[in-house]
A and B are shown apart, each in its own frame.
Chain A
Amino acid sequence: MPVPNAAVQETAIGPSPHRVVNDFSIQVATVNGSGSQTANLVLIRSIFQMGVPVSGKNMFPSNIAGLPTWYTIRASKDGYIGRKKEIDVLVAMNPETAKEDVLSLESGAAVIYDEPLNLKALRADLLFYPVPFDKLVAPVCPDAKLRRLVRNMIYDGVLSCLLKIDMAQMEKALRKQFGKKAKAVELNLGALTAGYGYAEANLPKQDPFYIEPMDQTAGKILIEGNAAAALGCMMAGVTVVAWYPITPSSSLPETLIDYMRKYRTDKETGKATFAIVQAEDEIASIGMVLGAGWAGARAMTSTAGPGVSLMSEFAGLAYYAEVPGVVFDIQRVGPSTGLPTRTAQGDILTTAVVSHGDTKHILLLPASVGECYSMAMDAFDLAEQFQTLVFVMSDLDLGMNTWMSDPFEYPTRPLSRGKLLDAETLERLGTEWGRYRDVDGDGIPYRTIPGDGMPAYFARGSGHNERGQYSERPDDYQRNLERLARKFETAKRFVPQPEASEQEGAEIGIIAYGTSHFAVMESRDQLLSEYGVKTSYLRVRAYPFGDEVRAFVERHKRIYVVEQNRDAQMRSLLKIDLPADLASKYRSVLHFNGLPIDARSVTDDLLEQEGAKPAAPKKAVAFSGGLGGE
């Protein structure tokens, strides 16, 4: 976790003369399993309710209870929702990490801590607020067994007082959190008030951090990416879901089950318009997806990198036998078991070509919870249009963290079922029809599904001719492979297109995707406002790449590909797919420590590669040109 990187300064500091309003981060360090999540959600929601843009990131260990966990809330008046590396306000509840947590803070940060930890002696350049949590919790929670849980709500009260977070909003958020559980509301409200009262009476304000009401969150929602994806799947009309629990993807099907039970089950008969199966493993789950997709259902699974590895054989079968299906890959840190509860964009390259032989898969690359929702629908349409697997490459940061978003729009377009052969088309095509025959020149054949009364065919992973018959003939094999490549080429025009944002005269182009987006957006602002460096930006939203990606690379002198893996996987994919003479333009900004990428790291790394080692940023000092060059 936080690596100590701040020099310990000797000079003590006093009450801050200036105010930092709605632009700082709060980190709560607790012990896994101590029930702090509720307190953290109440905290983030109350700031959100005050109209201040927020994002929340949960950094938790791969275990059930007892190990350190951190929850970081970033309030950003400018709406930046990527991770901010520096912590401004620390709530130190975990004895095991408290010392390291404190040592890693930047000078001037505030520390609220459990009094017996006695942290004050560690640093003279921080502002300390000791709070006797145990003493405060005892009178408000007579049941000793519940104290461990209720205790956390005290720091919400303390923060409310110190940071001026409206107590009415705290209470509202708390009631929302507990719903109708009256006893829980009462106990936690008691703890919240006790914390506030203690801080008011004993902790004179010394830090500069304030939350003040804004109007930037009206109408917006707070949601996790996995829940957003689940919603998208339901609206996409998914009917068969087969899954196997794996962090960080499990909350996707679990949320989907909740939604489907509520909205896709007949209230009178109890009959469901869906089947959701917890399979025995990832292999069985993708097998069920293939069976269901072959039989005409909109089918999906969700998994993480290890699951994709297991699914690879079936992925090749789906590609070659041309069976539709949707796979959500909520990426985590690899290789192997890696860091199961940390984030990365490390599955891009393997997933693009997963399985043996020549295979290529459509990847969608959501960057926001909104895209988790909308791309779920895109994925099902594309899977059926192209009769192939579509992988939605989310990640832990997006999937399991809380994000602010505009509410999701109700879909207006009908389901696109692709080229399903019907009587009319069969009449038109006559003997031209063959299961794997390209009659339209786009590489996409017409398929039939069991029970539809149309001609039957035999789906198989072994060599087959245009009629779907077993064949080992060289010309049949080659023609089929070429058609599949043509089909993939066609997909370029139908997948979500990249989004570009250009600054006039920018020589530097940045390419990023997925959750690296938010860090890049913020970094571009830093580069421009602090160093006068202009950049253009292209966010890739799908593989295969649309033609715009190539045009963007061609338009810029140097291309920085920003991604969260060690081996520059997207850069490799660009090199494979775009003309070779562009390859010398690529540079990489890579971030792979398991934590979400942050803007400052991108800025520093990019500047360094431009040949201008970044000094401490100085506002309003324009960078004096002459940057980098080849």
Chain B
Amino acid sequence: MADTPTVPPAPAKKTNRLGLEVAPYRGGRTTLCAGCGHNAISERIVESFWEMGVDGSQVIKLSGIGCSSKSPAYFLGTSHGFNAVHGRMPSVATGAILANKTLIAIGVSGDGDTGAIGIGQFVHLMRRNVPMIYIIEDNGCYGLTKGQFSPTADVGSTLKNGVVNDLPPLDTCVMAIELGATFVARSFSGDKKQLSAILKAAIAHRGTAMIDVLSPCVTFNDHSGSTKSYAYVKEHDEVLGEISFVPFFDDIAVEYEPGTTKEVTLHDGSRLYLKKVAEEYDPTDKLKALRVLHETARRGEYATGVLYVEPDRDDFTTLLNTIDEPLATLPLDKVRPPKAALDEIMESLR
């Protein structure tokens, strides 16, 4: 008997605990610049929600206005999304969660969206401990309006025209910890491993998970000092310059060990110093967390990792003691008191 030719089995497609492949966790095609750190963050969101086996139809994704706030369109295509007004996404998210606390909410904001017009709503989101993941895609500038300073821009950084920023940056992690967020982390868009781990922990957390992700702008940190500036590129690559303004950069990727500091050169030549918190770091110690943030900031470094966690504090819906079912879909008999109630009230007014 002749040997039956064997066809090697097709490699099994990877599925998560819901039996889903990664595809449904993706969104539309990005319209952000090639190489934008925000796209890398979207990738990590796709991965982490897929790996955690979250049902996309039970997720809501929200944002404000700006480059960052476009990103919810680029992940979790089976989830309802809401692109709100500039800086006021926190209130919209709060309302949505109150309407249906069984949903998992992820909000994406930018450093301008959060730190400038949205700082008031940011403050109150944190202190309410609204159960949601709140990501700041932080690049220190306003991309969509062509590169003005944002409130997280560092002292001494410059605009393309040479204007120097002389105001100190807001540290959203310090603020979030002070204000009452119960999960505060900082990461870098290029650190796949760390960002994925943080996101997965954030999905599992019940309360506000605030994640500040440093995410370089490839287009507007593009000034004369940079070897990767548009001008430099144009000078060195005539063809590209004629075809398109869109830079060709790849996402920056870094990997480094806990406890170590990593120097990362950005597309424009400027450098970030990332300091990954050590493995023995205790993220439940609020004062320690603040101390680490202040100390690293003084050295010009960014402390990264999960900086603070307070797992046991009641989230906002627990405080309000709402019924277990979603308020949004309660039937009439649960939301309209009986006639006897109205009769009683009428009697008291006679």
Contact = CB atoms under 8 A, between A and B. Distances in A.
Interface string B84-127: 11001011111111111011000000000000000011011000
A220 B350 contact: yes
Nearest to B87: A283
A391 interface: no
A577 B321 CA distance: 47
Nearest to B73: A458
Contact residues on B (Cβ < 8 Å of other chain), bracket: 35 or more
A204 interface: no
A242 B93 CA distance: 13
Interface string B335-350: 1110101110110011
B350 A242 contact: no
Interface stretch (B151-159, B270-278, B323-331): B323-331
Given A266-B323, A291-B94, A292-B328, A297 B99 contact: yes
Interface stretch (A103-111, A151-159, A449-457, A493-501): A449-457
Interface stretch (A77-85, A459-467, A600-608): A459-467
Given A235-B337, A271-B323, A296-B100, A259 B345 contact: yes
A234 interface: yes
Given A240-B327, A280-B120, A288 B95 contact: yes
Contact of B85 (A240, A450, A461): A461
B271 to A, nearest CB: 35
B81 A451 contact: no
A273 B101 CA distance: 12
B95 A299 contact: yes
The B interface, classified by DSSP as helix, strand, loop or mixed, is helix
Interface residues of A, number: 71
A288 B83 contact: no
A292 B337 contact: no
B12 interface: no
A286 B94 CA distance: 11
Interface in B32-85: 56-60, 62, 72-73, 77-85
B92 A290 contact: yes
A280 B345 CA distance: 31
A274 B322 contact: yes
Contacts of A456: 56-57, 77-81
B334 interface: yes
A142 interface: no
B2 interface: no
A149 B328 CA distance: 46
B98 A288 contact: yes
B239 interface: no
B92 A294 contact: yes
B7 interface: no
Nearest to A231: B345
B332 interface: yes
B1 interface: no
B109 to A, nearest CB: 13
B341 to A, nearest CB: 5
A411 B82 contact: no
B88 to A, nearest CB: 5
B83 A296 contact: no
B349 to A, nearest CB: 4
Contacts of A410: 339, 342-343
B221 interface: no
A14 B335 CA distance: 62
A234 B321 CA distance: 18
Interface of A: 219-223, 231, 234-240, 242, 259, 263-264, 266, 270-277, 279-281, 283-299, 313-314, 317, 321, 407-408, 410-411, 414-415, 448-453, 456-462, 469-470
15 contacts: A221-B350, A236-B336, A239-B328, A274-B335, A279-B124, A283-B121, A284-B124, A287-B90, A288-B94, A290-B91, A296-B328, A296-B329, A407-B349, A460-B81, A461-B85
Q: Shortest 9 CB-CB distances between A and B: which pairs?
A: A291-B95, A287-B91, A296-B328, A288-B95, A237-B335, A297-B99, A295-B99, A292-B95, A291-B92
Given A450-B80, A456-B81, 16 more contacts: A222-B350, A231-B342, A240-B95, A264-B337, A272-B321, A273-B334, A288-B98, A291-B84, A291-B96, A292-B99, A292-B328, A295-B328, A296-B100, A451-B58, A459-B83, A470-B73
